[in-house]
Amino acid sequence: MQPVAAEGIGARPRQQRQRLIMLMDHSLDVLEFVSRGGRVQSVSNAIVALAGYAPAELIGQKYAKFLHPDDIKVAHATFRQVLSTGHAGPVQLRYRHRDGSYRTVQITARNCLSDPRFEGILVLTRDITEQVTIEGALLRANRELHRLSQELLVAQDSERRHLARELHDDVQQALAGLRYSMAAARAPNSAVLPASMVPTWDAGVAEIMDKLRRLTLHLLPASLDRFGLAVAVEDYVAQERSLTPAVLTAEIAPTVGRFARDAELAAFRIIQEALANAMKHGRARVIRIEVHRDRDTLVIAVADDGTGFDVPAAMERAALTSRIGLHSICERATRVGGHASIDSSPGQGTTVHAEIPTSGPADAGAADPA
Ligand X SMILES: Nc1ncnc2c1ncn2[C@@H]1O[C@H](COP(=O)(O)OP(=O)(O)OP(=O)(O)O)[C@@H](O)[C@H]1O
Site membership for Mg ion, residue 325 (CB under 5 A): yes
Query: Among ligand X, Mg ion, none, what binds residue 231 when CB lies within 5 to 8 Å by partner kind?
Result: none
Report the distance separating Cα 261 and Cα 284, nearest Å.
31
Q: Helix 129-186 vs helix 325-335: angle between axes, to the nearest 10 degrees?
A: 100
| Minimal distance, residue 225 CB to ligand X, in Å | 24
| Minimal distance, residue 248 CB to ligand X, in Å | 13
Report the distance separating Cα 79 and Cα 60, nearest Å.
17
**Which positions from 23 through 42 interact with ligand X, judged by CB under 6 A?**
none
What dihedral do alpha carbons 166, 167, 173, 179 form, nearest 10°?
-150
| Minimal distance, residue 82 CB to ligand X, in Å | 51
- Of residues 78 and 277, the one with the C-beta less far from Mg ion: 277
Report the distance separating Cα 40 and Cα 366, nearest Å.
69
Helix, strand or coil, per DSSP, at residue 263: helix
Write each residue from 256 to 285 as x if it is in contact with ligand X (CB under 6 A), else as -, in one continuous string: ---------------------xx-xxx---
Q: Contact with ligand X (CB under 6 A): which of 39, 218, 323, 335?
A: 323
Report the distance separating Cα 38 and Cα 86, nearest Å.
15
**In the beta sheet, which residues pair with residue 31?**
124
| Minimal distance, residue 72 CB to Mg ion, in Å | 55
Q: Contact with ligand X (CB under 6 A): which of 83, 113, 286, 318?
A: 318
Report the distance separating Cα 358 and Cα 298, nearest Å.
6
Query: Among ligand X, Mg ion, none, what binds residue 194 when CB lies within 5 to 8 Å by partner kind?
Result: none
| Minimal distance, residue 282 CB to ligand X, in Å | 3
Q: Contact with Mg ion (CB under 5 A): which of 78, 277, 328, 351?
A: 277
Burial label for 216, CB within 10 Å (0-12, 13-18, 19+), is: buried
Contact window for Mg ion (CB under 5 A) among 71-79, 209-217, 244-252, 276-284: 276-284
Report the distance separating Cα 277 and Cα 7, nearest Å.
61
Q: Which amino acid is at 65?
A: K
**Which positions from 291 through 310 interact with ligand X, judged by CB under 6 A?**
304, 306-307, 309
Report the distance separating Cα 28 and Cα 24, nearest Å.
9
Q: Tell me the CA distances in angstroms from 355 to 266, 300, 335, 337, 367, one per residue in order.
A: 11, 6, 12, 9, 23
- Of residues 308 and 338, the one with the C-beta less far from ligand X: 308
Query: Among Mg ion, ligand X, none, what binds residue 23 when CB lies within 5 to 8 Å by partner kind?
Result: none
Neighbours of 182 (CB within 10 A): 13
Write each residue from 197 to 236 as x if it is in contact with Mg ion (CB under 5 A), else as -, in one continuous string: ----------------------------------------
Query: Among Mg ion, ligand X, none, what binds residue 43 when CB lies within 5 to 8 Å by partner kind?
Result: none
Q: Contact with ligand X (CB under 6 A): which of 340, 350, 354, 358?
A: 350
- Of residues 104 and 277, the one with the C-beta less far from Mg ion: 277
Contact window for ligand X (CB under 6 A) among 90-98, 172-180, 203-211, 319-327: 319-327
User: What strand order describes the sheet that includes 247-252?
Assistant: 247-252, 286-294, 297-304, 350-357, 339-344
**Which positions from 113 through 142 interact with Mg ion, judged by CB under 5 A?**
none
- Of residues 8 and 325, the one with the C-beta less far from Mg ion: 325
313 with 305: CB under 8 angstroms? no
Residues that bind Mg ion (CB under 5 A): 277, 325
Binding site for ligand X (CB under 6 A): 277-278, 280-282, 304, 306-307, 309, 314, 318, 323-326, 350
